[in-house]
């Protein structure tokens, strides 16, 4: 409740550290850092954040993926050769630049299809 009664623009500048070029919404309507509209209880103040994932180094060409059928008709296992700089699954700042997401895209699979089960690099 510390924001109640404060101007929306002041909260954006002081609490969200939003400069003049940032995008923000007050109850779904655009609002700027110069807006003097006082905030009320239960107002929703949000901002749009744009970021780029850190790059990862992958060898030229496609990822090395081997499809192995489990004996007895118990399914399929995919064996992937993981480059050193690539995280295994989406975490932290890596959402698209992770091994499972890149392999699913390369093989035309739905996101979340591959589930890592064992790592032998550690």
For 31-81, what is each residue's pLDDT tens digit?
888 888 899 999 998 887 777 888 888 888 888 888 999 898 888 889 988
Please report the pLDDT score of residue 122 as a whole number.
61
Q: What DSSP letter does each residue of the chain carry, written as one string?
A: -TTTTSBHHHHHHHTS---TT--EEETTEEE-TT--PBP-TT--EEE-----PPP----SSS--EEEEEPTTT--EEEEE---TTS-SS-BTTBSSSSHHHHHHHHHTPPTT----------
Given a cut of 90, is residue 109 above it in pLDDT? yes
What pTM did the predictor assign?
0.59
Work out the mean pLDDT of the chain and round it to a whole number. Answer: 86
Residue 20's pLDDT band, with cuts at 50, 70 and 90, is low
Predicted confidence at residue 6, as pLDDT, reads 92
């Amino acid at each position: 409740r510390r924001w109640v009664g404060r101007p929306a623009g002041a909260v954006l500048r002081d609490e969200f550290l939003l400069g003049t070029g940032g995008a923000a919404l007050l109850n779904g309507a655009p609002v700027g850092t110069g807006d003097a509209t006082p905030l009320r209880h239960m107002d929703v103040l949000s901002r749009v954040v744009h970021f780029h994932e850190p790059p990862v180094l992958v060898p030229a060409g496609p990822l090395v993926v081997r499809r192995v059928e489990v004996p007895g008709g118990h399914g399929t296992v995919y064996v992937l050769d993981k480059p050193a700089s690539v995280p295994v699954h989406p975490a932290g700042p890596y959402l698209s630049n992770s091994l499972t997401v890149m392999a699913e895209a390369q093989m035309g699979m739905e996101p979340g299809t591959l589930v890592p089960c064992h790592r032998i690099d550690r």
